């Protein structure tokens, strides 16, 4: 089952009140643990594949520099660098620093 690499907080498995709910798309942490136990009973394992800089649902905008590139060859710049305001600031207020104090900002992307 593909996730789409659109996670808000990789350290929240459904135990923190963030973005208006405690559960994630997989449910609460307790529901996820129950799912893993049931999978194990029938001989299945589960794993999570995380791409750390693929995020969704930023908490705020930040200024950053971008440059347009050729759609067929992203190594070729076709524009000049320009500063924009983008949704790249992640503070994880619901979790705070539990499990990790890492916050994400424009330079992480």
pLDDT band at 3 (very low <50, low <70, confident <90, very high): low
With 0.85 as the threshold, say if the pTM is over it. no
- Ordered by start, the domain boundaries in the chain are 29-108
SS3 letters for the chain? CCCCCCECCCCCCCCCCECCECCECCECHHHHHHHHHHHHHCCCCCCCCCCCCCECCCCEEEEEEECCEECCEEEEECCCCEEEEEEEEECCCCCCCCCCCCCECHHHC
- Which class in CATH covers the domain with range 29-108? mainly beta
pLDDT for the residue 51:
79
Q: Tell me the per-residue pLDDT of 29-55, one tens digit each, with 9 for 90 and over.
A: 999 999 999 999 999 998 877 777 788
């Amino acid at each position: 089952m593909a996730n789409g690499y659109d996670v808000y907080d990789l350290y929240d498995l459904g135990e923190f009140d963030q973005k208006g709910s405690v559960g994630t798309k997989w449910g609460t942490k307790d529901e996820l643990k129950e799912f893993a136990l049931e999978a194990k009973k029938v001989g299945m394992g589960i794993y999570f594949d995380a791409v750390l800089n693929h995020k969704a649902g930023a908490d705020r905008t930040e200024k950053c520099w971008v440059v347009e590139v050729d759609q067929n060859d992203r190594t070729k710049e076709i524009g000049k660098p320009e500063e924009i305001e983008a949704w790249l600031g992640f503070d994880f207020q619901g979790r705070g620093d539990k499990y990790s104090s890492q916050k994400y900002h424009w330079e992480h992307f």
